[in-house]
Amino acid sequence: MTAGGVANWAKGPVPVIEPEYLTGILAAACDLAFVVSAEGVVRSILIDDETKEHARLSHWAGKPMQEFLTSESVRKFETALEAVKVTKQITRPVELNHSDKSEWQYPVRYSFHAVGPDASVLMLGHDLRLVAEAQEQLVQAQFALERGYEERREYDARYRMLMASTADAFVFASATDGRIRDVNAAAARLLGAERDELIGAPLAQEFKHRRRGEFVEKLVSLAASDFEAELSAQTTRGRREVLITPTVFRAAGERLIICRLQSENAQTASDDRLLDTLVALFHKSTDAIVLTDTRGVVQDVNEAFLEIADVSSLSEVKTRSLSEFLQRGQIDLSVMLENAIRSGHMRVYATKLANEFGARASVEISVVYINDQERPTVGFIIRDASRAETIRSTTKGAASADNSSHNVVELVGSAPLKEIVAETNEVIERMCIETAVELTRNNRAAAAEMLGLSRQSLYVKLRKYGLLKRDDKD
């Protein structure tokens, strides 16, 4: 085509295309081709056979094209037809959205060409669904990118506010090269330098007699230990004795060390003999001791618990729920936590402890709630009760067996077997309900969950056996 729209070939005459070849040429040049009358009635349809989505268009023949266009495309189609009547050709393509009832809808870009003396119009169309899908994916990607930027700015603002407002001194350093990545104002004052001066400097040079490689390796080793460890060091500038508590984590593929700095002068508790004695008692006690948060997540345990749970190190149980080691799981844990948090302690709770291999041991647990620190802690003292249980069962076994047999023998002949079994079941049921209510400190919801009953069923049985208190009846 020339600039004026007149057909022109570089060499030779315009080729004459035989009718049998025209269909193939049109099918290769476009995805859809329609011949429509001047009024827009579809006279013939040419479809790309390789595109399965267009196989249902045969019923369009003989019907107005307007029936298969969306409302906003009808006006564009009629305008294009009018333009073809006047100019015999439209130089700019027209994008129309097809719609066949509610089954499907897709956009097509058409070029309009006048053909034949009867004002028929040839519409050559290119399917724009792939383009529309790519545009939609691009828009979604842009939205996701903007959300990511917003979240990053939000987290960065929280991090900066936390670092600026906390009174604790924190230093972030790379575990690879040992250089300081970030430091808050409290740490900068403790180290005796400006924040901008510290960022990028080797962490080891801020402490006397510390070599970079050995110092970083020492911090990483302390962070990987089972128990919280501290490193004593002296600052280079202020000659201040500080305790460094390191923690290693990974961010964006890089290992970082967050160091909490504390002045030794403020750590009077570390020199307290009572604290040292309590720490030794915790680690050497024959009773298992577990420290958790208020949700029952394990924070620390002693060696006795590792032995009774058949676990090799603290790292295997830390951050796990204590319910994983209890016979009744979350039911036992919820009962103990609720009673301890409400009253401050729970003297004795009998249950069974399950180790990693499924073995169970009878235990008695005392619980203490410690709420006089920044993060409330719940302490569990677990005593092995299997030996005492064996002694009690041995001394009571013979007498109880004789009495039970004697009672059952007395009932034989005085009542049918069905009534004897029913009465025995009621006695057992009452004993189980009384035990559950006693273990849960009269917590009806926990007792019902322990027995596998609904609260309504439990109340019915409590009323049946006369176990409701007077205030409950009132």
Question: What is the per-residue pLDDT across 365-422, written as a single tens digit (0 to 9) for each?
Answer: 899 998 866 678 899 998 887 766 655 554 454 444 445 445 555 555 555 666 666 6
Give Cα 204 distance to the centre of its chain.
Answer: 38
- Helix axis angle, 444-451 relative to 455-464, nearest 10°? 100
pLDDT value, residue 374: 66
Domains, in order of start, for the chain: 19-127 (3.30.450.20), 166-265 (3.30.450.20), 284-388 (3.30.450.20), 412-473 (1.10.10)
The residue assigned the tokens 């301890």 is 340
Q: Provide the greatest CA pair distance for the chain.
A: 124
CA-closest candidate to residue 340, choices 304, 395, 306, 380? 380
Mean pLDDT for 313-326 is 86
More confident residue, 20 or 72: 72
Contact partners, residue 106, CB within 8 Å, separation at least 6: 53, 97, 98, 127, 128, 129, 132
CA distances from 419 to 407, 414, 426, 462 (A): 14, 10, 11, 21
Rg (C-alpha) for the chain, rounded Å, is 41
| Cβ atoms 345, 366 nearer than 8 A | yes
CA-closest candidate to residue 38, choices 126, 122, 95? 122
Give Cα 396 distance to the centre of its chain.
Answer: 52
Partner residues linked to 124 by β-bridges: 33, 111
pLDDT digits (tens, 9 = 90+) for 243-300: 898 989 888 788 899 999 888 765 444 455 677 788 888 888 888 899 989 888 998 8
The residue assigned the tokens 């294009």 is 80
The residue assigned the tokens 């900066």 is 160
- Number of Cβ within 10 Å of residue 242's Cβ equals 26
314 pLDDT higher than 80: yes
pLDDT value, residue 99: 82
- In whole angstroms, give the CA distance from residue 343 to residue 349: 14
Q: What is the DSSP letter of 43?
A: E
- In whole angstroms, give the CA distance from residue 442 to residue 347: 15
User: Which of 10-24, 290-304, 416-430 has the highest mean predicted lDDT (pLDDT)?
Assistant: 290-304
- In whole angstroms, give the CA distance from residue 160 to residue 195: 13
Full-model pTM? 0.35
Residue 363 φ then ψ, to 5°: -140, 160
**Residues in the chain, overall count:** 474
CA-closest candidate to residue 325, choices 352, 289, 293? 352
- In whole angstroms, give the CA distance from residue 454 to residue 137: 51
Partner residues linked to 346 by β-bridges: 367
